[in-house]
Chains A and B, each alone.
Chain A
Amino acid sequence: MKKILNIASFVLLGIYFATVLTEAQAISWYRIQEMFYFKSFHMYGLLGSAIATGALSLWIIKKFNVKSLHHNPIEVKDKPFEWKANFGGGIIFGLGWGLTGACSAPLFISLGINWKIGGLLLIGAFIGTYIYGLLKDKLPH
């Protein structure tokens, strides 16, 4: 029962996140194109205010030593700094984002809306992940 509740809570958070993204049209290739052509403030406002909210929340958590629901201290870890990987991988990811208008969350949402298009994206993402697994030790990090 505890396990089911745990899974359900993540599913619900996913539904929350996906609903906001879809209502904000952030899953649309057209909005992403509009953003990269600097024709609208929408996506910049969206990302900027999301980051501001996240940063303010982290500040409050730290400042007031907010505990988790299970009374544990909240730890926020930094990802390792590997500039070649972060930057190089970032550019490659960005190419995919610009081409398809999808990043990871919209990719899965698209899969639900249109399984053929979303399926192609997901198969691609699996192939890409697998290629990374194959090449990981040979790539500069």
Chain B
Amino acid sequence: MKNEPLAWYIAGPLIGLIVPLLLILKEKQFGISSSYRFLISGLTKKPGYFNYNREHDAWQFYFVIGLILTGVFYGLNGYDMNELKTIQTTHGGFGGGDVMHYVSTSGFYDLSNWAIFLVGGVLIGFGSRYSNGCTAGHCIMGMSQFSKTSFLATIGFFIGGLIATYFIIPCLF
């Protein structure tokens, strides 16, 4: 397992290409988090937010199947989500002593952190629906359109991320 990522100047443009690929091949604007609404509306139509023309979002569900399949492929090939745990030490230990000690032993991706995954998931689901997009729809698609809506949302993402990183995570370990 290698520790070096695919270089940003190759991976970044490949990520950005999803925007024209979806528009030209499929006439869709890139986004992922509408799939949460789509999936829940398959289970219940109440409250009214889930009673909508869901066929419009069905494609995001198919796209998500591709994401999951890719994960399964990496998983079956022994991908270790904790393989990067040494990067904290190489950077002189961000997060301070306790976080670093914790991460260098069990690693962040450990079921003992179940509450973080669950609560974090709630924030991701609620926040992306409230802000009407996530990193895909706002950061990548919306910023490519120079949309002020997405610019504002992206600033929000970073503020939230910085608060979590500097004030919440150091209190959790």
- Residues of chain A touching chain B, judged by Cβ–Cβ distance below 8 Å, are 7, 9-26, 28-34, 36-37, 39-55, 57-58, 60-61, 66, 68-70, 72, 74, 76-83, 85-105, 107-114, 116-118, 120-134, 136, 139
Contact = CB atoms under 8 A, between A and B. Distances in A.
Closest 10 CB pairs of A and B: A124-B121, A14-B66, A112-B71, A94-B160, A90-B156, A53-B16, A128-B125, A98-B164, A93-B127, A89-B131
Contact residues on B (Cβ < 8 Å of other chain), bracket = 35 or more
Given A99-B169, A100-B117, A89 B130 contact: yes
Interface in B68-99: 68-75, 79, 81, 84-85, 87-88, 91, 94-95
B130 A34 contact: no
B84 A30 contact: yes
Contacts of B23: 57, 61, 68, 74, 76
B116 A100 contact: yes
Contact of B163 (A45, A94, A100, A128): A94
B157 A139 contact: no
A111 to B, nearest CB: 6
Contacts of A82: 132, 149
A129 B119 CA distance: 12
B12 A96 contact: no
A105 to B, nearest CB: 6
Contact of A126 (B16, B36, B166): B36
Contacts of B29: 76-77
Contacts of B85: 30
The secondary-structure label for the interface of chain B is helix
Interface in B105-127: 108-109, 111, 114, 116-127
6 contacts: A22-B74, A25-B6, A46-B8, A50-B16, A92-B131, A94-B156
B165 A33 contact: yes
A25 B5 contact: yes
A44 B119 CA distance: 26
B160 A113 contact: no
Nearest to A25: B5
B62 A11 contact: yes
Interface in B122-173: 122-150, 152-166, 168-169
Given A30-B88, A89-B129, A95-B127, A134 B47 contact: yes
Nearest to B61: A10
Given A104-B32, A128-B125, A112 B5 contact: no
A111 B6 CA distance: 22
Contacts of B6: 20, 23-25
A130 B150 CA distance: 23
A69 B35 CA distance: 24
